[in-house]
Structure 1
Amino acid sequence: MYKLRMFNMKWQLLNYFLISSLITVSSIYIVLEYFKEELTSWEFRLWFAAAILVACLTVGYIATKRWQRKVDELHLAMLEISKGNFASRIELEPVEPFLYLYEAFNTMASAVQERVQLLQKFGEAEAIRDQELTENAVMEERRRLARDLHDTVSQELFAIHMSASSLPKILERNPDAASGVMNQLIQMSHHAQKQMRGLISQLRPIELNDMSLQEALEKWFPEYCRTHELQGQLDVVVGESMSEAIEHQFFLIIQEGLANVIKHASAKQVRLAIHEREHQYVLQLQDDGQGFERSDIPSASHGLSTMRERAQKLGGEVEIDSKPGAGTRVRVKIPRFAEEPSGLTLVREDERNEH
């Protein structure tokens, strides 16, 4: 079958060459047969040569235009695949010289789509397992914070209580010393309040807590910007099709990106946008900070490599665009699939049977 298709392609090209040859030979025959006397004129010979050239070029143009259109279809489909549209396919026609190429491309695109989708699903499963491990670490960290609470704020409150208890007797015996004790109480209460706020902020981890990504960001992002004196702009438009694992990874990437903005960018404004396209989820974080050279990206921050790893777990990619003095833009693209491949369904059924 492969040889037959190649044979058909060769014959199509030969047909165009045959048509050009027939036009040339027929024209020469007609001129030699009926216009012998006119051949003595150089003007006639010039026009005759021009006519043959135009006819052959017309046939060649039609042939190249038809084949170029076929090549362009393949090129556009390849560009769609490179942009993350793994659902891109070329429509097949019954009589098509490029049929074997188009079929090979569609087969390859289907295989890539299935593998990337499986990679994303396995990445989601791994992210969920990592989240369970993280929860154990969070519990241990909370125990540490509880000990710190006992060793700092609790002792401060005890000292405040003792000083406040002694204040009535001081007022009774030495009223002049009471003002010093009251100032001490104010200072200790202020210090205890400051320590309590710090511990509370650590005891409130940033989590989705059964909220969607959009709901969590609408609640957390403005507060985060106010706390760090940033002018924030939030633009999130996503549907309900985004999986929990993708939402969780996006949220972690946003945290990492904003932490980089606070630490390194010296920015005043930051814009966060998440859009759901037909074949992709796109996250974009942009600031007006000091930026950096592209050559410094690998060593600029550990957070950038972490963001790449989180995106790659789900079959995505991270693009970083930055120039000194022109801010930084981080764009994260995660493939979006309409339905699960059959292979993954079988894997999940096997897992259920094992349990």
Structure 2
Amino acid sequence: METEKKANMITRHMREGTLLGLVVMLVVLYLLYTYGYLKPFDSWKNRIEAGITLVLLPIGLGAIYGFFQGYRVKRRVDLVRETLVNWEKGSLTDVMPDIGEDEVGRLGEQLVKISKRWEDQVSSLQRLSTNNAQLAEQARVTAIVEERQRLARELHDAVSQQLFAISMTATAVGRTLDKDFDKAQRQVALIEEMSAVAQSEMRALLLHLRPVYLEGKALEQGLKDLIKELRIKVPMEITFEMDDDIHLLKGIENHLFRIVQEAMSNTLRHSKAEKMDIRIHRKQNTVRVMLRDDGIGFELDDKKQTSYGLSTMQERVTEIGGSVQFITAPGKGTRIEIVVPLINDERKRGDGDGNTD
């Protein structure tokens, strides 16, 4: 359809050029006939040859003129369209090419102004997210004592009680093993059940014990530490890749860390996956995050977006001026693709480090 539209632009100009050539020919013939410059031909052969020449010449010249005129306009429009597509994908730093000084050129200048305003807004959003991260860090320090007390209560009420029950049941097994073997077997099965419950509760608590923010670490190091700990405690294969030349503002790193953390939590709780891939790469002037698991997947709807925390991920990505796409289906696993544009400081830092290396 796109190729057909492009061809229609050239075809339309060729038709208009042909029509213009015919009109010019008729006007010229009329003027020649009016002022007596047009003489009748001696034979029919000369008349036919002259008629064919008078028809084909303006049609050919008009078609050629229309083709070049249409191609020139199409090429300039295509340049504008390609730049707009790149902007839509997050590459806001792509420069609008010089497309002349006529109406199309003035349209390009206006789009450049819109792009600069858009880039300023994204930059403001990212600076605001950094300020919010600093405020959140201060709030975290203030609330850390209360959080430790709450976790202590949960450990006492949940895991500690389970361990105490396991200890008491184990003592009872030792007393009844010789007297009532069937009862001892039931007590051993109860111990196994309580141990599984305690283990599940500990894993749930471990997810909450993880730091909410990076605590001064770089994004790559923070994710490596998180994955290293989970690999020890969770029977799931986790693959992590991240380019070395990615250097972001603290607010953006904190948001991406929380997004990855939330995605990993969802995978552990809901997907029943055996493998999870986490890839963070820089592509031109954007950072692209891909999270993928081989779990059971789900039907994407408003209810699932709320219960699985997908709407929270969407809000976090929007706060840093990015875009997110959720791709999933029952039995097909889940893939989350995030694109964050690099604006000003982040791009310069990344380029500077690349040049230094």
Same fold per TM (> 0.5)?
yes
Correspondence for 2:267: 261
**CA-to-aligned-CA distance 1:106-132 (integer Å, 9 cap, x gap):** 111111111121122112212332343
- Indicate conservation of the 8 Å contact 1:20/1:59, yes or no: no
**CA-to-aligned-CA distance 1:114-163 (integer Å, 9 cap, x gap):** 11211221122123323433444443121123345677759x89xx9xxx
Q: For 2:339, what is the secondary structure of its paired residue?
A: strand
1:252 counterpart letter in structure 2: R
Determine if the alignment matches structure 1 residue 300 to structure 2 residue 304: yes
- Indicate conservation of the 8 Å contact 1:231/1:269, yes or no: yes
- Tell me by how many angstroms 1:92 deviates: 3.2
Q: For 2:245, what is the secondary structure of its paired residue?
A: coil
- Tell me by how many angstroms 1:255 deviates: 0.9
Determine if the alignment matches structure 1 residue 205 to structure 2 residue 223: no
2:332 counterpart letter in structure 1: A
- Indicate conservation of the 8 Å contact 1:124/1:246, yes or no: yes
Determine if the alignment matches structure 1 residue 24 to structure 2 residue 25: yes
CA distance in 2, matches of 1:34, 1:111: 68
Correspondence for 1:59: 65
Q: For 1:337, what is the secondary structure of its paired residue?
A: coil
Matched positions, count: 299
Alignment of 1:246-325 (within 5 A): 246-294=252-300, 296=301, 298-302=302-306, 303-325=309-331
CA distance in 1, matches of 2:208, 2:325: 33
Alignment of 1:66-215 (within 5 A): 66-92=72-98, 95-147=101-153, 198=202, 201=206, 204-206=209-211, 207-215=213-221
CA distance in 2, matches of 1:38, 1:225: 95
- Indicate conservation of the 8 Å contact 1:279/1:336, yes or no: yes
The farther-off stretch of 47-56 and 83-92 is: 47-56
Determine if the alignment matches structure 1 residue 229 to structure 2 residue 225: no
CA distance in 1, matches of 2:42, 2:326: 73
Q: RMSD in angstroms over aligned alpha carbons?
A: 4.2
2:251 counterpart letter in structure 1: A
1:92 counterpart letter in structure 2: D
- Indicate conservation of the 8 Å contact 1:320/1:329, yes or no: yes
- Tell me by how many angstroms 1:77 deviates: 1.7
Correspondence for 2:183: none
The farther-off stretch of 40-49 and 205-214 is: 40-49
- Indicate conservation of the 8 Å contact 2:246/2:282, yes or no: no
**CA-to-aligned-CA distance 1:265-321 (integer Å, 9 cap, x gap):** 222221111112332221110112222334x2x221431011011111111121111
The farther-off stretch of 259-268 and 244-253 is: 259-268
**Residues 22 and 266 of structure 1, relative CA distance in 2, 3 Å threshold:** same
2:150 counterpart letter in structure 1: R
- Tell me by how many angstroms 1:225 deviates: 4.2
CA distance in 2, matches of 1:239, 1:254: 19
2:210 counterpart letter in structure 1: P
